[in-house]
Chain A
Amino acid sequence: MTESAVTDPTTALLDVEGLTKRYSGLVALSEYELRLAPHSIHGVIGPNGAGKTTLFNLLSGMVQPTAGSIRFGGVDITAHAAHDVARAGIARTFQNIRLFGDMTAIDNVKVAVQQRLPISLAMTLISSPSYRRNEADVTEHARPILDRMGLGAMADRQASSLPYGDQRRLEIARAVATNPRILLLDEPNAGMNPTETAELLDLIRRLRDELGLTVILVAHDIPLVMGLCDRIQVLNHGELIADGPPTTVRNDPDVITAYLGRASDA
C-alpha cells in the first residue's frame, strides 16, 4: 500500500476519528485515529490494558464510544447496533474464545452463513422450497469454510470439545462465514505454540489474498506482526504512541521505552 492510499480518506475502507472510550474516570481509549487501506493487514499492538480489545468492541459496535466517529465504506456506523455492523461487513473474533459451545462446529459456521439469507417462521414450518434451498445453500457455503480452516474433519464435533487451537480457528471460520470485508482478530495466537502461530499467520495472509479481506490484527507481541502487517499502530494506556510501517515503528524510541523494553524484560 502506498502512503497516499493510506492517508487519503476517500479510499480508506475504515475511517476512524477521535475515537474515545471512558469508563468512569478511566480512559480505555483516547482520540484514536485510523485510515484503513483496503486489502491491508493492519497490526495494533500494546501491553495488557492498552485498550486494544476496547478498540475492537467499539469498531464492532458492541460498545458505544464516548466520543469520535467510525465511517465504514463512507457510511457513518458509529451508532449502529452490533448486529448491523456485522451485517454491514465487519466481523470479529474474541480474545477469550466465544464459540457456541454446545453446537457442532458446522452449525457454528452455518449460523453465521445464514445471516445473509431471509428467515421466516412460516417458511420454516411448511418447509417451503425456498426454505429448503436456503438451508442447502447454507450447508454448501459452510463446508468449504471449515475445510479452508483445516476443520473439515471436525464438522460434526461439538465446538466445546475441540482442541484449543481448533477452537481458535473455528472462531475465525465463523467470522469469515459472515462474508465480511473487514476481519478483526483479537490476539488470535494467544495460547498457541510457535508452530501453530506460524501456521496461523500463513492462514491470515491467505484469507487476505484469497478472499480479498482487510484484516486488523491485535497482538500482544511484536515479532508476530512485524512480518505480517503492512502497517502497525502502538497503543499504550489508551493512547496512540506510534503509527507507521513495521520498520519505522520498531525503531521508534517511544515504543521501545513504553512497550518493547517491558516486553523484553518479561
Chain B
Amino acid sequence: MSALRIPRRTLVLLLAASGTLALLQLSGLAFWQGLAINFAIFIILVQALNMASGFTGVFSLGHIGFMAIGAYTSAILTLPLATKSEYLPNLPGWLAGIHLDVAVGPLPVGFFAATLVAGLVAMVVAGLVGAVLMRLSGHFVAVATLGFLVIVRVVLFNADDITRGSRTFSNVTPYTNLWWAWGWAVIAIYVAWRVKFSGLGRAMFAQKADRWAARSIGISILRPRLIAFVAGAFLSAIAGSLYAHFITSFSPTVFYFDLTFRVITMLVVGGMGSVSGAVIGTALVLALAEALRRIEGATLLYGLGGILLAVFFIAVIIFRPSGIMGQREVDLDRVLGWRPRWRRGRPDAEPSRRG
C-alpha cells in the first residue's frame, strides 16, 4: 500500500461519488440535495466520534459541544461587516472587525478560512479539556464529557453579546453546498482511515483492548486518547460550521442530547471502530429517520419516529452490540468483485485490515 499512489478502488469511488454529486446538483431535486448534505455532515460527526470513542474506547458524550463551538465560531466570523454591527452590536472590538465573507471568483475562501478557524478553536478547547478528562475511564469519562456538553450550552446561552444567547442566531450566509459538505466528508473519512491503519491507530486500539498491556510496552495512555479526542473535536467543529451555513439559523438548543444521541446511534449501529461501518450506520439511521418522519406525517403520530429509533438502537445494543461491522472494514475489492479469483480466501495476500 504505497501512500502517495491513490489506490484504484479509491480513485474509482471518488470519481463515482463526484459524478453522482454532479448529477444531483444538475437535477435540481432540492429534497435529495438537502438529504445528501445532511448525510455528509453526519458522516463527519460520526467519524469524529468514531476516532474519539470507537478507536480509543473512551466514551465521549461531549462532541456535539465542539460542533456547537464550530457552528458559532464560523457563523460569527463570516458575518458581513454591515450585518454584524447591526446584529451583534456588543461584539468585542477585535471580533467585530473580522468579516470572512470574502470570495475569490466563485470560491468563498472566507468560509473555508472560517471553517478552519472554527476547527482550530475546538482543537484548543479539546486540548485543555482532554488533558484532564482523558485520564479518566469508563463511566467517569462519559459523565465528565456530558458535563462539558452542558457547560458549552450554558456558556452559549449566557454569552449574549457574542451568541445572542437563547435567541435564534440567523443571517448566516448559506455557503454550504453539496461540494463543501462532501469535500469535508471525504476528508473526515480519509483522516479516520489513515489514523486507524497507522502506528497512532495501533496505539489507540491497543490501549482500548488492554490498558495494562499497553502501558507495559511503553504506551502512555493519555497521548493516543488526547490525539483522538482533539482530532475528533476538529472534525466535529467542521461539521458545525457546515451545519451553520446550511440551515443558516439555529440556537444553542440544537446542539444537545437529541443530536448527541443521533450520532451515537449511527456509530453504534455501524460498529465502533469501523470507518466504513460509520458510513453505513450513518446512512442506515438517516434513512430510517427519514422514513419514520414520513410515517409520522402520514399517521399524525408525532414522536413515534423518535421512539422507534430508540427501540432500534436498544435492539442493536442487545442483539448486535458490536454493530454491523464491529471493528472490521468493508473489503471494497470483494464488494466490487475486483479481487482476482486465485487470491480469494488467502488473507495473507491482503494487507492487515483488522483493528
Pairwise interchain contact B348-A156, C-beta atoms closer than 8 A: yes
- In chain B between 220 and 240, which residues have their CB closer than 8 angstroms to a CB of chain A? 220-221, 227, 231
Compute how far the CA of A108 lies from the CA of B354 in the bound complex, rounded to whole angstroms: 11
Produce 1/0 per residue, B304-337, CB < 8 A to A: 0000000000000000000000110000000000
Residue in A83, A92, A158 whose beta carbon sits within 8 Å of that of B220 in the complex: A83
Pairwise interchain contact B210-A99, C-beta atoms closer than 8 A: yes
Produce 1/0 per residue, B1-26, CB < 8 A to A: 00110000000000000000000000
Pairwise interchain contact B227-A121, C-beta atoms closer than 8 A: yes
Pairwise interchain contact A86-B194, C-beta atoms closer than 8 A: no
- In chain A between 218 and 252, which residues have their CB closer than 8 angstroms to a CB of chain B? none
Compute how far the CA of A92 lies from the CA of B216 in the bound complex, rounded to whole angstroms: 7
Chain B interface residue number, banded: 20 to 34
Chain B residues, CB < 8 A from A86: 215-218
Closest chain B CB from A230 CB (angstroms) = 25
Pairwise interchain contact A119-B199, C-beta atoms closer than 8 A: yes
Check if B198 is an interface residue, CB within 8 A of chain A. yes
Check if A102 is an interface residue, CB within 8 A of chain B. yes
Chain B residues, CB < 8 A from A119: 198-200, 203
User: Among A9-17, A22-30, A43-51, A172-180, which stretch is in contact with chain B?
Assistant: A172-180
Check if B209 is an interface residue, CB within 8 A of chain A. yes
Q: Given A98-B212, A175-B217, do A107 and B227 touch, yes or no (CB 8 Å)? A: no
Compute how far the CA of A121 lies from the CA of B127 in the bound complex, rounded to whole angstroms: 14
Closest chain B CB from A175 CB (angstroms) = 7
**Interface class of chain B by DSSP:** helix
Closest chain A CB from B141 CB (angstroms) = 19
Chain A residues, CB < 8 A from B218: 83-84, 86-87, 112, 115, 178
Check if A54 is an interface residue, CB within 8 A of chain B. no
Check if B347 is an interface residue, CB within 8 A of chain A. yes
Q: Given A83-B215, A119-B200, A175-B216, do A111 and B194 touch, yes or no (CB 8 Å)? A: no
Pairwise interchain contact B202-A110, C-beta atoms closer than 8 A: yes
| Candidate in A83, A84, A134 with the most chain B CB atoms within 10 angstroms | A83
User: Among A124-132, A187-195, A205-213, A253-261, which stretch is in contact with chain B?
Assistant: A124-132
Closest 8 CB pairs of A and B: A127-B3, A115-B218, A86-B218, A82-B215, A98-B213, A100-B209, A112-B217, A111-B202
Sampled A-B contacts (14; CB under 8 Å): A61-B215, A83-B214, A84-B218, A100-B209, A102-B209, A103-B205, A106-B352, A107-B354, A110-B202, A111-B206, A119-B199, A131-B3, A174-B217, A178-B217
What would 6 more interface pairs be, CB under 8 Å, given A175-B217, A178-B218?
A62-B216, A83-B218, A94-B212, A111-B203, A124-B195, A175-B216
The residues of B with any CB-CB pair to A shorter than 8 Å are 3-4, 191, 194-195, 198-200, 202-203, 205-206, 209-210, 212-221, 227, 231, 326-327, 347-348, 352, 354-355
The residues of A with any CB-CB pair to B shorter than 8 Å are 60-62, 81-84, 86-87, 91-92, 94, 98-104, 106-108, 110-112, 114-115, 117, 119, 121, 124-125, 127, 131-132, 134-135, 138, 155-156, 158, 174-175, 177-178
